[in-house]
Amino acid sequence: MRRIHQVLLALPVTGVVLCLSSCSGCSAKNAPSSPPASAATSSAPGGPGAGAAATPAPSQFYAPRDAVYDVTYTPNTVRIDFPTVQKTLRAVSPDGSAMVFDSSDPRLQGLTAGKVLLLEHLGVRKIVDVEKQGSQIGLITDDVSLTDFIQDGHIKFTAPLFADSPQAAVYPPPAPRALLANLTDWLKGPVVAYADTSPASYGMHAAGKVDNWEFEASGTRAGDGLTLTISATKDLGGLKAKVTATGKVNHVSSAFDANIKGGKMQDFQYSTPLQGSLQVTWAALTAGQNLGIGESRLALPPVAKTVIDVYGLPFLFQINVNLIFKPGFGTPHDAASGGFNLDYDGAGGLIIHGSQSSTTGNMQANPNVQNTTSSSLAAHGIVLAVNAPKISVSFGTDSFKEALTQLLPETITSWSWFQRLQQKLFSKKLSSQPGPGDFFKINGGAYVQLVEEFDYAASGPLSLVPCKVTHFNSYAQAGADAQVLAITASSPTVEWFHSAKTWRVPDSDVCGPK
């Protein structure tokens, strides 16, 4: 039994869950137009107040009904209406940090470092450096928090994303097969197929390769929900691995509520339903000596996304799936496969008052773990964590780039173009390398997520008492990026549900405690 315990200790279950825990086109109705205002006014529920954009939401964006947007901007905030941006914006770097404008507009001519630039329907950026040459003005910018440009205000919206035409194909899971007879065939890479998807689509499709993971991810609109399909394979010669997931997320909706007073976030709430189903299968096979799976984490592109336009301020809504898969085999010719199904039903979210964070929510989760089949003479094990779904609303660089992609795609240029321009216009160095960050983090976002963690360990048939132990944990969590909320402490994370189950074969304490 000592060997099975060593396998379990070698596969860091807690670290997997903590790692995932830190992660993270609709038909649109135009918002009513409203003249810009510089002072706060009382706002009737379900309408714009002070600070609303002068132009309605673009047709590509989702404009939530009954949204509240009543704000007073800080003195450092410079607002540029969208028609002016269309006429003057010449180029944006791939990471959204550098911009070049035609400086014909007086508001652009007066920009200095430290100002905050609000580009209606596109986003908000803090100016780090300003360079001028002739009729051109170059800006180096950074992310902002809501309190960087809002002195006092109330932003509130609920975004139920209603039914729309499907945009991407769903790829069904493979039919069940016998493990050893068909495992090699099943571990072959996926057939890559692409769906024609407009940039503003609610459902998405993506295929690619990162860290030796070949992946395919797709989402399709289903009423007021989403069906999703994921396939990820890795072939390192001595080790082959595959994970697939299919599921449905029902009643997709996000509720966002932020109150700011005196340049500080006073109250914040974000919540969403978590209801649906998930079916996951996995397999791993060794063929000769192997050095392990390498990078066990995979952050997939979103399976759904859209821009939510709240009277000119864009937020990015996304549904993400992430996974961690770590097989542990001891001999050159090992194989294992298994899976689980999960039905879940609940709702929850994050509540922040001042510096205190809490949660509210409920959840029912009913897992059904398939029998794990393995072939190995030595002790072996598997750890699999799936973060699905992760539902988020973010405000920052990602929302800015998505809004640009949908409204002004011609302005997004290459790094080589900006590096050539740097010699003439920019005195500060432009970096094309992304900065350090959490692997699964949603920058500038608030999220609600479900994390499913499965681990299996077997002592092997040669042990005195051949044991197999399986654990399954479900977690419902919520959190937010401290930057967007202007919180000085670390990003808040809360958990309102945890369910744990254990199966032993034989069901005896000789195989360890339950």
Tens digit of pLDDT for each residue in 422-454? 666 666 656 554 544 566 777 888 999 999 999
Q: Which of 510, 407, 478, 437 is nearest to 59 (CA)?
A: 407
For the record, the structure tokens of 465 come out as 């008492």
Do 99 and 141 contact (CB within 8 A), yes or no?
yes
Amino acid identity, residue 122?
L
In three-state secondary structure terms, 442 is: coil
Are 231 and 215 contacting, i.e. CB atoms less than 8 angstroms apart?
A: yes
- What is the per-residue pLDDT across 1-47, written as a single tens digit (0 to 9) for each? 444 444 433 444 444 444 555 443 333 333 333 333 333 333 334 45
C-alpha of 140 from chain center = 26
pLDDT at residue number 357: 86
Q: Tokens 């809360």 correspond to what residue?
A: 494
Contact 320, 298 (CB under 8 A): no
Which regions in the chain score pLDDT beneath 70? 1-50, 161-203, 422-439, 484-490
Q: How many CB atoms are located within 10 Å of the residue 509 CB?
A: 9
The pLDDT value recorded for residue 134 is 86
pLDDT of residue 196: 32
**Residue 136 region by backbone torsions, left for phi larger than 0, else alpha for psi between -120 and 50, else beta:** beta
Q: Which tokens sit at 442?
A: 């949603």
Total-model pTM: 0.83
264 HSE (CA, 13 A, CB side): 7
Q: What is the pLDDT of residue 459?
A: 92
Q: Which bin fits 64, alpha (ψ -120 to 50), beta or left (φ > 0)?
A: beta
Which token pair is 149?
């440009």
Inter-residue contact 421 to 357 (CB < 8 Å): no
Nearest CA-CA partner of 195 in 232, 223, 167, 216: 167
Q: Phi-psi category of 373—alpha, beta or left, where left has phi over 0 and alpha has psi -120 to 50?
A: beta
Confirm if 220 and 167 have CB atoms less than 8 A apart. yes
- Using the 8-state DSSP alphabet, how is residue 412 labeled? B
Q: What is the structure's pLDDT at 287?
A: 85
Q: How is residue 45 written in tokens?
A: 């529920």
pLDDT at position 429: 59
The Cα–Cα gap between 89 and 137 comes to 10
Pairing type for strands 445-458 and 468-480 reads: antiparallel
**464: exposed, middle or buried (Cβ count in 10 Å: 0-12, 13-18, 19+):** exposed
Residues whose CB is less than 8 angstroms from the CB of residue 295 and which lie 6 or more positions away in sequence, other chains included: 211, 212, 213
- Compute, in degrees rounded to 10, the torsion defined by CA atoms 140, 145, 148, 154: 140
Return the H-helix or E-strand segment holding 41.
none
Beta strands in 223-355 (DSSP E): 225-235, 239-249, 253-261, 264-286, 297-299, 304-310, 313-328, 335-353
